[in-house]
């Protein structure tokens, strides 16, 4: 029986009305290969769908949604000294020169699609910046569909770029007016994966001091679905996300999945991997297929003695907060929580 949002008593009525207009961000069919996925992403229909999505998200970056008054909005690019493509950054901060805490935000899209320059992310950056933060977003290399970083590449390319961006913030902290001891890494969905994966990499390298905190929203951690450890991967599948295919792990990091690499798929992490993590928040959405893997990671952090906090936003679908016109007070509440965490 097909899922009917009107019959789900958990869902916020505004999201019930919105769901029919949303297309699942994961294709509900298996792919034969990553090459097939790349070819599909380059078809006229796929490119047209991206253009429609961009038009929709651009409508979210309006003065009626979030004002630009009092903010300084910048874009710049850098080339990692260790090699790789030139990477674009979107930077929003209050329009003064005081040194501020920073939220280094990694966009969602299953590590495979989307861009931090889409209108909903531009609006989200402004919402956060109004709390007295410098917000920096990076267009890392996606695995399947290009962002403004026009190259595409599988794991570990996107994670490499996120690491390079963090190091760039430390190198340019004085110029950008950032307190390098107060950089919080955050992200939703695929960006939540990269948030925790970046910390796992820095832990392995002995460089966790580069980040002051982690804030992962609805993180994409498991890779293969359904997973009997996580009931939400079955009970919530098809609510915006349809996960019961091979596309996520095949497109991003199939070999890393087979090897159980936690830096690609953090659900493989053990307490030893996360011991010593900085303070961390895991935020999940009640009606999200990814809900339970996020909760499990939060409990892993507690088991490892990490200062961790978990939160569940009732009545919401995957990444509701990043649709600021859907439930504005939910977006505002999560933004205030993230800001308070980053400024603690």
User: The domain spanning residue 28 has which CATH number?
Assistant: 3.40.50.1820
DSSP letters, 80-140, are -TT----EEEEEEEESS---EEEEEEE--STTTS--TTSHHHHHHHHHHHTTT-EEEEE-P
Q: Is the dihedral of CA 282, 283, 285, 288 positive or negative?
A: negative
Alpha-carbon distance of 266 to 294, in angstroms, equals: 10
CB contact at 8 A, 158 and 101: no
Residue 241: per-residue pLDDT: 92
Structurally, the chain folds into a number of domains equal to: 1
Residue in 243, 42, 262, 70 with CA at minimum distance from that of residue 155 = 262
φ, ψ at 169 (rounded to 5°): -60, -40
pTM attached to this predicted model:
0.97
Residues 6+ apart with CB under 8 A from 282: 216, 219, 294, 295, 297, 298, 301, 308, 309, 310, 311
Structural domain boundaries, residue 287 = 5-342
Residue 25: per-residue pLDDT: 59
- Angle, helices 157-171 vs 190-205, to 10°: value is 70
Residue 267: per-residue pLDDT: 98
Where does residue 244 rank: exposed (0-12), middle (13-18), buried (19+ CB within 10 A)?
Answer: middle
What is the CB-side half-sphere exposure of residue 116 using CA atoms within 13 A? 31
CB atoms within 10 A of CB 206: 8
Q: What angle do CA 81, 82, 88 make, to 5 degrees?
A: 60
User: What distance lies between CA 13 and its chain's CA centroid?
Assistant: 25
* Helix, strand, coil distribution of the chain in percent, nearest 5: 40, 15, 45
φ, ψ at 178 (rounded to 5°): -110, 140
Where does residue 296 rank: exposed (0-12), middle (13-18), buried (19+ CB within 10 A)?
Answer: middle
Alpha-carbon distance of 153 to 112, in angstroms, equals: 9
pLDDT tens per residue, the chain (344 residues)? 667 888 999 999 999 999 887 765 556 789 999 999 999 999 999 999 899 999 999 999 999 999 999 999 999 999 999 888 999 999 999 999 999 999 999 999 999 999 999 999 999 999 999 999 999 999 999 999 999 999 999 999 999 999 999 999 999 999 999 999 999 999 999 999 999 999 999 999 999 999 999 999 999 999 999 999 999 999 999 999 999 999 989 999 999 999 999 999 999 999 999 999 999 999 999 999 999 999 999 999 999 999 999 999 999 999 999 999 999 999 999 999 999 999 99
DSSP letters, 329-344, are HHHHHHHHHHHHHHT-
């Amino acid at each position: 029986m097909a899922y009917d949002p009107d019959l789900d008593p958990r869902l916020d009525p505004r999201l019930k009305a919105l769901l029919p207009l949303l297309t699942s961000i994961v294709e509900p069919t298996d792919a034969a290969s990553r090459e097939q996925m790349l070819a599909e992403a380059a078809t006229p229909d796929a490119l047209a769908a991206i253009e429609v999505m961009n038009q929709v998200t651009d409508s979210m970056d309006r003065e009626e949604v979030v004002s630009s008054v009092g903010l300084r909005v910048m874009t710049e690019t850098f080339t990692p000294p260790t090699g790789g493509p030139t990477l674009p950054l979107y930077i929003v901060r209050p329009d003064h020169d005081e040194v501020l805490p920073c939220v280094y935000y990694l966009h969602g899209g299953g590590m495979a699609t989307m861009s931090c320059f889409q209108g909903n992310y531009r609006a989200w950056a402004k919402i956060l910046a109004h709390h007295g933060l410098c917000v920096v977003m990076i267009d890392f290399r996606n695995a399947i569909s290009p962002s403004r970083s026009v190259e595409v590449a599988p794991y570990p390319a996107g994670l490499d770029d996120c690491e390079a961006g963090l190091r760039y913030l430390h190198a340019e902290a004085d110029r950008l007016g950032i307190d390098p001891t107060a950089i919080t890494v955050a992200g939703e969905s695929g960006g939540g994966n990269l948030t925790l994966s970046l910390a796992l990499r820095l832990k392995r390298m002995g460089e966790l001091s580069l980040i002051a905190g982690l804030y992962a929203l609805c993180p994409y951690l498991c890779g293969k679905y359904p997973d009997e450890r996580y009931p939400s991967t079955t009970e919530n599948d098809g609510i915006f996300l349809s996960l019961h295919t091979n596309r996520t792990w095949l497109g991003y990091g199939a070999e890393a999945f087979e090897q159980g690499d936690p830096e690609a798929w953090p659900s493989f992490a053990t307490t030893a991997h996360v011991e010593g993590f900085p303070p961390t928040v895991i935020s999940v959405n009640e009606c999200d297929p990814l809900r339970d893997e996020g909760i499990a990671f939060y409990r892993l952090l507690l088991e490892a003695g990490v200062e961790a906090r978990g939160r569940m936003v009732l009545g919401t679908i995957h990444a509701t907060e990043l649709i600021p016109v859907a439930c504005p007070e939910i977006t505002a509440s999560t933004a205030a929580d993230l800001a308070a965490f980053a400024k603690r």
